Structure 1
Amino acid sequence: MNLSQLGRRAGLNAGTVSSLVKGSRVLAVDQLDRITRVLGMPEGYYYEHYIQECIVETVPNWRRIRPFLFRCAELDCLNCIRQSVQLLLDNLTYSPLLFEVAEEFFNTGKSKAAAILYESVAASERRQHSERLAFCQYRLFMLRLGDNQENNLQAAIQFEPFVDRLDELDQLDALRELGNTYKSLQRWDKVDVIAAELGTKAKIQLRLASQPGVKREGYDKKLKRPLFVYLAFSNLLRGGVCDARGAYEEALEYAYKYADLSWVSARDEETLRWVKLFEGWAKANIFVCKLMIGDDNVIAEYAEFIDQDEEEMLIGILNITKAANRFNYNIDVILEKFKPRLIPYLSLQSESVGMYTPQIIDEESTECCYQLAYYYLWNRGHLAGFRYLLAGLEKSDFINNEIRLLSFVRLFEHFREYASFDIQQQYQNLMKKEFGLNEEKGSRVVSSR
């Protein structure tokens, strides 16, 4: 091809192609993509060469670099993004520009590309103690949350010191996310501290928002939830801590606090939706507290309540079964009714349900499997008991929760003599899988003996 033919096929005029070939003009990424297609090469084939010419050998031009980063994200050329960013951040004036691109990536679901930029910007500002550094750590915390509970714990520990450096309103959402994460990990001491801090900060912001001249729109645009939700959620978390510690009377007091939201003056649709949600959660948790105190009269009413609310179904069955195991209640009829609706929660990959994050659903479904297995095995329902035990064992391994995994192992060994040959084979296969994973991780092996 001569230059005219190349230009015609690439949709570029001959003068532009001539300037590009002579090196008197630097390619834009769109032009490079067109020429790459004409030459029959895969998309992104020349991107590493482009980095050399566009960033290393010439003065970087943000008007060329920004579209290049977006194109790399589209093609999943993460190594090219990493190389480009490392070169650009020798000059700290690019830090805010790269942060803005990271935000666009984050908001459009380009998580891996966003993480590279946030990590790089955070590293470049680690000695600045800036709000941007803290916000990068916040975004990285959210991006790192997943199925592996050990990784989630590390992400929470790494982010927690940066919360106080965030904007005061961003702190509310950050504390809410941290509280949820520690709750899914059953780190109740941490949940209690985070929830108390969330409540204190939410009260301050509510007081400021009620002062004359303060525009509520500023809060609504900045926060992910209406402002009152953060105070109510603080009480919800603290009630959960009391429940986990067996302090059910105190948990009941917190439930009554977020049940009564009559002090919320706004009456817009979003506010009313959240008020209704907290009323529902309070009603459910009041049932639970009474159950755990030993009031079996509420079982039927609680079962009817969760039957009408899919979001509360899993945690409801968990609570009813836990109470049955504690006080020796017979709940066979209730479990039989809800059995078909429990099956989706036994799958390895959980999804969020309402306000419950995938991490919380993972933990609750795993504990529910344990409580159900315990109930059936102690009540001679061995087939159902072992089915829930094996499902919970597999999920504990999947989310890397070794404490829960060990509880399933102990339960199986206690009832091993009642397990059929097929059940014992499935159990051994799962334990071999866990053995192999632990060897790869170099961690302690859980033995089935």
Structure 2
Amino acid sequence: MLEMACSLEKWNKVKETAEILYECVQCLYQEQQYRKAKSLPLLTFELEHPMVYYYGFSHLMRGMACQEKGQYEESRAYIDKYAELGWLEDLGEDGLEVVEEFRSLAQANGHALELLSGHVELLAAYTDFLRENPEEVLPGLDTILRAALRHGLNVDELLETFSDQTAEFGTYEDEGNLAHYYSFSHHLALYQKRARRTEEALEQVLQAVRLAHRSGNDSYFTRSLALFESLRDWATAEQVREVQRMIKER
């Protein structure tokens, strides 16, 4: 349900569903701790992940929803919650690994949030963070583009710095990275359009349309199609035909 709400960008639904997830795992955890304290038989159930994962994931999703709605202070509060999940008891080795994973996510998302909220003086520090954490380059560059569009930044040199990594984005096949790649392509098209580089903007918006078409995401497809139409006067006949073909195939 959370993944579906995210793909549709229904952020109120994301937050509401994540709160239900938190209440469920909190209920389970408290019941187990009560039984343990009273020397009662523990509940037996199977979870796909350690219980701490669901605490972290519920906070992560609520923080993301708040960020997308521009509620930065509330988003920051959720980041603080999944930054330190070591307070849970009986974590075990698997649970401790999850704690570290969410701590790393909190660091990355905290940097991104500060940049989006207007602390553009942190751009150099965030760039250094991406160099040290190559797995964050794709979502990180998307965040930088969003901040550039929102706060009027010129990030041409920065994009050139990561050109080798961006050339590899097209090789990604997992759903999460493809969603990030769509967002990156769409925002890069907007950035190039703002800079009046229409050829580059068209190249990127076509990539965004292809990714939206490939994923079957109607919301993404409609959004990128609207951007393509705003650049249609500069498009080649071949580019127009390609978009028309994708429209007919839907």
Partner of 2:240: 428
Question: 2:151, 2:188 → 1: CA distance?
Answer: 14
In structure 2, the residue corresponding to 1:246 is in which secondary structure?
Answer: coil
Contact 2:8 2:219 in 1 (8 A): no
Residue by residue over 1:42-68, the C-alpha shift from the partner in whole angstroms, topping out at 9 and shown as x without a partner, is xxxxxxxxxxxxxxxxxxxxxxxxxxx
Partner of 2:141: 317
- With over 3 angstroms needed to count, the CA separation of the structure-2 counterparts of 1:214 and 1:284, relative to structure 1, is farther
What does 1:322-333 align with in structure 2 at a 5 Å threshold? Answer: 322-333=146-157
Q: TM-score when scaled to structure 1?
A: 0.51
Q: 1:392 aligns with which of 202, 208, 216?
A: 208
**2:74 aligned with 1:250, yes or no?**
yes
Contact 1:198 1:230 in 2 (8 A): yes
Contact 1:346 1:391 in 2 (8 A): no
Structure with more contact order per residue of length (Cα contacts < 8 Å, sep ≥ 6): 2
Contact 2:5 2:14 in 1 (8 A): yes
Q: CA deviation at 1:196?
A: 0.6
Superposed CA RMSD in Å reads 2.3
Unaligned runs of 5+ in 2: none
Contact 2:83 2:102 in 1 (8 A): yes
Q: CA deviation at 1:414?
A: 2.8
* Runs of 4 or more consecutive aligned structure 1 residues displaced over 4 Å after TM superposition: 214-219
Contact 1:242 1:251 in 2 (8 A): yes
Q: CA deviation at 1:214?
A: 6.1
Contact 2:52 2:99 in 1 (8 A): no
- With over 3 angstroms needed to count, the CA separation of the structure-2 counterparts of 1:189 and 1:304, relative to structure 1, is same
Q: CA deviation at 1:301?
A: 1.7
Question: 1:185, 1:361 → 2: CA distance?
Answer: 16
Residue by residue over 1:260-305, the C-alpha shift from the partner in whole angstroms, topping out at 9 and shown as x without a partner, is 2231344643222211111111111211221122100221222222
What does 1:295-310 align with in structure 2 at a 5 Å threshold? Answer: 295-310=119-134
- With over 3 angstroms needed to count, the CA separation of the structure-2 counterparts of 1:396 and 1:214, relative to structure 1, is farther
Partner of 1:186: 9
In structure 1, the residue corresponding to 2:100 is in which secondary structure?
Answer: helix
Question: 1:396, 1:307 → 2: CA distance?
Answer: 28
- With over 3 angstroms needed to count, the CA separation of the structure-2 counterparts of 1:243 and 1:205, relative to structure 1, is same
Question: 2:130, 2:224 → 1: CA distance?
Answer: 27
Question: 2:179, 2:40 → 1: CA distance?
Answer: 41
**2:108 aligned with 1:284, yes or no?**
yes
Q: CA deviation at 1:363?
A: 2.5
Residue by residue over 1:283-331, the C-alpha shift from the partner in whole angstroms, topping out at 9 and shown as x without a partner, is 1121122112210022122222233334322211111110100001111
Q: CA deviation at 1:202?
A: 0.8
Question: 2:118, 2:177 → 1: CA distance?
Answer: 26
Q: 2:190 aligns with which of 374, 388, 391?
A: 374
Q: CA deviation at 1:193?
A: 1.9
**Aligned AA for 1:297?**
E
Contact 2:7 2:217 in 1 (8 A): no
Residue by residue over 1:370-420, the C-alpha shift from the partner in whole angstroms, topping out at 9 and shown as x without a partner, is 101111221133343222111111111122223322322332333344x3x
In structure 2, the residue corresponding to 1:210 is in which secondary structure?
Answer: helix
Contact 1:240 1:251 in 2 (8 A): yes
**2:61 aligned with 1:237, yes or no?**
yes
Question: 1:336, 1:216 → 2: CA distance?
Answer: 56
Q: CA deviation at 1:232?
A: 1.6
Unaligned runs of 5+ in 1: 1-177, 352-357, 439-449
Partner of 1:264: 88
Contact 1:185 1:363 in 2 (8 A): no
Contact 1:208 1:214 in 2 (8 A): no
Question: 1:301, 1:409 → 2: CA distance?
Answer: 35
In structure 1, the residue corresponding to 2:162 is in which secondary structure?
Answer: helix
**Aligned AA for 1:194?**
T
Contact 1:291 1:323 in 2 (8 A): yes
Question: 2:114, 2:246 → 1: CA distance?
Answer: 39
Question: 1:332, 1:411 → 2: CA distance?
Answer: 21
- With over 3 angstroms needed to count, the CA separation of the structure-2 counterparts of 1:286 and 1:215, relative to structure 1, is farther
Residue by residue over 1:206-258, the C-alpha shift from the partner in whole angstroms, topping out at 9 and shown as x without a partner, is 11222324677945xx1121112111211110011101111111111111111
- With over 3 angstroms needed to count, the CA separation of the structure-2 counterparts of 1:185 and 1:311, relative to structure 1, is farther
Partner of 1:362: 178
**Aligned AA for 1:407?**
R
Contact 2:232 2:240 in 1 (8 A): no
